[in-house]
Chain A
């Protein structure tokens, strides 16, 4: 029981930190979640991807959806509530404290300068997380290490699917479609072609 309470407290604290430092909306929490999973062993990086897919396919901001999902995975329903609370609390408190001064804050030269540094940093962090994502979804690094056969490194089915999607999400008529549609279609392709090998 005390171990569970300690777990919930740690969870809340970790998400409070994400709520303060993950700047840039949406995917900004992704590198932090990778780091947290690595550090604590609470979940694997493949699980992060599944959570991201669910978070993109359901209503609500991705940042909150991811926090709720991780919180539930780690600590059940109380975990889901605490992780979500931790993520949104710093923003809510700051809005209430700073609302009066914010117009001045927004035009402040140093705030603008900080964002000049923060935006590329946020992009770089997500890109680095994106690279590890590749290893989880398009390549079988562990299978390759086991068998030593170079061809085993490539997950051919998912690579073909990703290539098709990369084109469809960037050319004119299909570009505007909602991500949910692509995720749903990918699930169907995964089932029909048994992409998980199961």
Chain B
């Protein structure tokens, strides 16, 4: 029981101290999980992180589940995975409850008008970063990016359908050209 509580608390800290998920979680994992608790090595953490990206869902939760399972089996995985999501759940619920109540205030409306302009820029920067890692060759652009963009922007096609079609197209391209696929996953 004590071990599970330790696991729970360790991953509550991971969830509560990471801004933005993804890479931002690695320094905290290295300090707490590797150096402080000694539950995994640096290499294991990096392997889990890399594999977490190949599965659906939230990278941080997936990585936490891997480490929890590695430490304490299936139950340990469940404890670690849920613990990492808990801080978000609590913090956002409190903020949402607060903002919903004050949404009509002029100060809040003006603040969010400014914030929305900022969010546009942040999204654009994220797209540029993703573009650099996603566009392996010209076929990515012509076969996948342009059709998906056009269908998503101008029609009501479900993103689920587009994601499934893109995965199949990737496999088809690999099958036809006999190539190894798009680099490291």
Residues of A participating in the B interface, judged by any CB pair closer than 8 Å: 17, 19-27, 30-32, 35, 38, 46, 49-50, 52-56, 58-65, 68-69, 72-73, 77, 80-81, 84, 87-88, 90-92, 94-96, 98-99, 102-103, 105-106, 109-134, 136-138, 157-159, 161-162, 165-166, 169-170, 178-180, 182-183, 185-191, 193-198
Chain A binding site: helix, strand, loop or mixed by DSSP?
helix
Contact between chains at A191 and B18 (CB < 8 Å) = no
The B59-81 residues at the A interface (CB cut-off 8 A) are: 59-62, 65-66, 69-70, 74, 77-78, 81
**Is B125 part of the contact surface with A, judged by Cβ < 8 Å?**
yes
**Is B54 part of the contact surface with A, judged by Cβ < 8 Å?**
yes
A68-B58 contact in complex given A59-B17, A191-B107, C-beta closer than 8 Å? no
Residue among B18, B59, B134 facing the most chain A CB atoms (10 A cut-off): B134
Contact between chains at B117 and A186 (CB < 8 Å) = yes
Contact between chains at A95 and B55 (CB < 8 Å) = yes
Residue among B47, B66, B115, B173 facing the most chain A CB atoms (10 A cut-off): B115
Contact between chains at B88 and A91 (CB < 8 Å) = no
- 21 cross-chain CB contacts under 8 A: A27-B130, A50-B99, A54-B96, A58-B88, A58-B91, A62-B20, A62-B21, A90-B56, A91-B57, A92-B61, A96-B65, A105-B51, A113-B173, A114-B167, A116-B182, A117-B171, A128-B152, A131-B153, A194-B106, A195-B110, A198-B106
**A-B pairs with lowest CB-CB distance, top 8:** A91-B57, A190-B114, A117-B170, A116-B182, A61-B21, A60-B88, A121-B166, A113-B174
Number of B residues near A (Cβ < 8 Å) is 102
Closest chain-B Cβ to A162's Cβ sits at a distance in Å of 4
The one of A30, A58, A95, A134 that contacts B69, using a Cβ cutoff of 8 Å: A95
With A and B bound together, what is the CA distance between A38 and B135 in angstroms?
29
**Is B97 part of the contact surface with A, judged by Cβ < 8 Å?**
yes
Contact between chains at A120 and B141 (CB < 8 Å) = yes
A121-B111 contact in complex given A92-B65, A95-B65, C-beta closer than 8 Å? no
The one of A21, A61, A111, A180 that contacts B56, using a Cβ cutoff of 8 Å: A21
Residue of B nearest to A20 (CB): B56
The one of A25, A50, A113, A124 that contacts B53, using a Cβ cutoff of 8 Å: A25
Known contacts A117-B166, A166-B124; 12 further A-B pairs (Cβ under 8 A): A21-B163, A50-B112, A72-B92, A91-B58, A92-B77, A105-B51, A110-B174, A112-B180, A114-B181, A116-B174, A123-B135, A137-B116
Contact partners of B140 in chain A: CB under 8 A: 116, 119-120
Residue of B nearest to A167 (CB): B121
Contact between chains at B118 and A186 (CB < 8 Å) = yes
Contact between chains at B160 and A17 (CB < 8 Å) = yes
Contact between chains at A22 and B56 (CB < 8 Å) = yes
**Is B41 part of the contact surface with A, judged by Cβ < 8 Å?**
no
Contact between chains at B78 and A24 (CB < 8 Å) = no
Residue among A35, A103, A124 facing the most chain B CB atoms (10 A cut-off): A124
Contact between chains at A127 and B149 (CB < 8 Å) = yes
The one of A59, A60, A73, A128 that contacts B149, using a Cβ cutoff of 8 Å: A128
The B136-185 residues at the A interface (CB cut-off 8 A) are: 136, 140-141, 144-146, 148-149, 152-153, 156, 158-160, 162-171, 173-175, 180-185
